[in-house]
Amino acid sequence: MTGFTPDEMMTIAAARVLRNDDVCFVGIGAPSAACNVARLTHAPDITLIYESGTIGTAPDVLPLSIGDGELCDTAVTTVPVPEMFRYWLQGGWITVGFLGAAQLDRFGNINTTVIGDYDKPKVRLPGGGGAPEIAALSQQVYITMKQSARGFVDTIDFFTSFGHGEGGDHRQRLGMTTRGPTLLVTDLGIWKPDPETREFTVTALHPGVTREQMQETVGWPVRYAATVEETPAPTQEELEVLRDLKARTAAAHQKKDAA
Amino acid sequence: MARHIPLAEAVSTFLKPGATAAFEGFTHLIPHAAAHEVIRQQIGDLTLVRMTPDLIYDQLIGMGLVKKLIFSYAGNPGVGLLRRLRDAVENGWPRPLEIEEHSHAAMANAYEAGAAGLPCAILRGYLGAELKDVNPNIRSVTCPFTGEELAAVPAIRPDVTFIHAQKADRKGNVLVEGIVGVQKEAVLAADKAIVTVEEVVDDLNAHPNACVLPHWTIDAICTVPGGAHPSYAHGHYARDNASYLAWDKIAADRDTFRAWMKDNVLEARPEVFAERIADLGVAS
């Protein structure tokens, strides 16, 4: 087995959970890489949707933005943005919304709006974009992001996108009928919500990761499921697909002559 | 009724200081040339509307022309943050910036409501989201049939909407192809609409269901080849991703930003856009 980085493990572990029949609303960045690795390995028929309106897209390189031309070229159809959000997302067709985050709490609530106070922010982040409704209206939500003390916090500074709120049945109390975050894939392990409290608990550690490492990057006491597995290491095929995709992407984004 | 006129004339005729303007384009067909003309003419105190403010809004804000921004995602897509916008929000430079922040779903619905002549848009939105606590324009209505509480936001009705498109015909009918975003809605919602195009043709040769804006929905057509650069025009030229990456460094520093604006915008003309796309491949 060749070596692999924690980032590669994260992307591949996230790719594995996607199914061939999923209709996936793809966030940019880490989710986009995972979704395309899934498409290029075990889920060739997965429907990938980007918020620019491209439905069933199959890009050869990862898009820099959610609206790169190749997404449209390879899509089954491209619809106007209002239709994207009204018919396809609000209409309930999305089986998985795949999101990243700047800040995340133990209940899968996401902040991508501000660090600090909203009116006097320390850092003004880009904002929610499509995420608030993706989080609320997709049948379920997967989250993928690298663990860090800055990102995995006890209290997020702003509730951009609602996960399980305070936990328990908070989603139902707000009238939501969708499942919310059901999976969190990081560079260190895999987390799933506790069936009762909805707090994320670790269900698998990636190869070589210790519980001490896990806690170092998390701003709350990490809880573990009754059984904690070890994530199978990336296969040769998975690594090759991911590395080829990244290499093609880097070359495409740096060259001005992008024919 | 659309008139074919130069971009400088269209901007000075239709955009007044203090107006509400939308420059739409959902990562595609972004009307860069039009925004640069506004900057050259120093038309200020603007309220800008856009789902995805990116480089051109960073530029307009950094040049001090913007009073208020209505938006749903303010980033350099795939690269990071908008540094001039951050400087305005965090430090009030070069002037304080009022913001009204929404989600994409709400903005898209609000444009559609504007196009449909409705006062507001209704959506199943902002569930559990904190934006409704900081934006008084996010309210709720109760469905009279089911009792469900739904989010309501005001319709967007810009004084002027700017878009870029691939083609117009001699009459001024406009064809938009590829990722069409909210351009049709933004034009129909606006009081005045200015469209820059790659080319003027005898026949649009459009598919029966294509996104075509009839000439009587548009006020000015301005031919500006390359007018979306560094964004792209499907079928004409590819997105110049390297320029988006470069912007992150240019915008990081106030002096670097101002020097770049002087060289590339203030002392430039719409014709330079054709040169900027000369080396880019065709986006099929």
pLDDT average, residue stretch A105-112: 97
Tell me whether residue B130 is in a domain: no
Tell me whether residue A11 is in a domain: yes
Tell me whether residue B127 is in a domain: no
Tell me whether residue A186 is in a domain: yes
What average pLDDT does the structure give for chain A?
A: 94
Strand bridging mode B75-76 / B80-81: antiparallel
Dist. CA B258–CA A217, nearest whole Å: 40
Nearest CA in chain A to B280: A257
* CATH assignment at residue B30: 3.40.1080.10
Tell me whether residue B84 is in a domain: yes
A121 touches chain B (CB under 8 A): yes
Check whether B176 has a pLDDT greater than 60: yes
Check whether A180 has a pLDDT greater than 90: yes
Please report the pLDDT score of residue A254 as a whole number. Answer: 72
Strand bridging mode B20-23 / B46-50: parallel
Least-confidence region, from B69-78, B96-105, B183-192: B69-78
Please report the pLDDT score of residue A67 as a whole number. Answer: 79
Tokens of A124: 């003004």
Tell me whether residue A27 is in a domain: yes
Contact B284 A78 (CB under 8 A): no
pLDDT average, residue stretch B82-106: 96
Tell me whether residue B136 is in a domain: no
Q: B47: alpha, beta or left, given left = phi > 0 and alpha = psi -120 to 50?
A: beta
End-to-end Cα spacing for chain A: 37
Please report the pLDDT score of residue A255 as a whole number. Answer: 61
Residue A51 is a catalytic residue: yes
User: Which residue of A28, A62, A109, A133 is the best one to mutate when testing the B interface, meaning the one whose CB has the most B CBs within 10 A?
Assistant: A133
Number of domains in chain B: 1
Check whether B282 has a pLDDT greater than 80: no
> A-contacting residues of B 37-76, CB under 8 Å?
51-52, 71-75
Tell me whether residue B145 is in a domain: no
pLDDT average, residue stretch A31-38: 95
List chain A residues with CB under 8 Å of B125. 132-133, 136
Tell me whether residue B146 is in a domain: no
Contact B241 A253 (CB under 8 A): yes
List chain B residues with CB under 8 Å of A124. 74, 81, 85-86, 89-90
B31 touches chain A (CB under 8 A): no
* CATH assignment at residue A39: 3.40.1080.10
> What range defines the domain where residue B37 resides?
3-102+157-276
User: A253 falls in which pLDDT band (50, 70, 90)?
Assistant: confident
Please report the pLDDT score of residue A2 as a whole number. Answer: 57
List chain B residues with CB under 8 Å of A253. 241-242, 245
Please report the pLDDT score of residue A252 as a whole number. Answer: 83
**Encoded amino acid at B263, one letter:** D
Check whether A257 has a pLDDT greater than 50: no
Check whether B124 has a pLDDT greater than 50: yes
> What range defines the domain where residue A74 resides?
6-254
Number of domains in chain A: 1
Least-confidence region, from A192-206, B27-41, B70-84, B139-153: B70-84
Contact A129 B72 (CB under 8 A): yes
Closest Cα in chain B, distance from residue A221 (Å): 25
Tell me whether residue A190 is in a domain: yes
Closest Cα in chain B, distance from residue A210 (Å): 32
Answer whether A17's CB lies under 8 Å from A183's CB.
yes
A213 touches chain B (CB under 8 A): no
Strand bridging mode A114-116 / A77-78: unpaired
pLDDT more than 70, % of chain B? 99
Tell me whether residue B143 is in a domain: no
pLDDT per residue as tens digits for the range B227-272: 999 999 999 999 998 899 999 999 999 999 999 999 999 999 999 9
Answer whether B191's CB lies under 8 Å from B220's CB.
no
Residue ranges with strand state E in chain A: 23-26, 47-50, 54-55, 77-78, 96-99, 103-104, 110-111, 114-116, 121-124, 140-144, 181-185, 189-193, 200-205, 224-230
pLDDT per residue as tens digits for the range B22-59: 999 998 999 999 999 999 999 999 999 999 999 999 99
Check whether A259 has a pLDDT greater than 80: no
Nearest CA in chain B to A159: B130
**Encoded amino acid at B203, one letter:** D
Tell me whether residue B17 is in a domain: yes
List chain B residues with CB under 8 Å of A175. 127, 148-149
**Encoded amino acid at B244, one letter:** Y
Please give the ipTM for the structure prediction: 0.95
Determine whether A95 is exposed, middle or buried from the number of CB atoms within 10 Å of its CB (0-12, 13-18, 19+). middle
- The catalytic position among A8, A51, A133, A238 is A51
Please report the pLDDT score of residue A1 as a whole number. Answer: 46
Dist. CA B129–CA B106, nearest whole Å: 12
Closest Cα in chain A, distance from residue B12 (Å): 30
Check whether B196 has a pLDDT greater than 70: yes
User: Which residue of A64, A84, A161, A177 is the best one to mutate when testing the B interface, meaning the one whose CB has the most B CBs within 10 A?
Assistant: A64
Tokens of B21: 């303007």
Kindly calculate the radius of gyration of chain A based on its CA atoms and give it in whole angstroms: 18
Q: What are the φ and ψ backbone dihedral angles of B58, each rounded to 5 degrees?
A: -55, -40
Check whether A181 has a pLDDT greater than 90: yes
Please report the pLDDT score of residue B283 as a whole number. Answer: 61
> What are the C-alpha distances in Å from B219 to residues A27, B128, B161, B193, B205?
37, 41, 10, 5, 22
Tell me whether residue A1 is in a domain: no
Contact A133 B245 (CB under 8 A): no
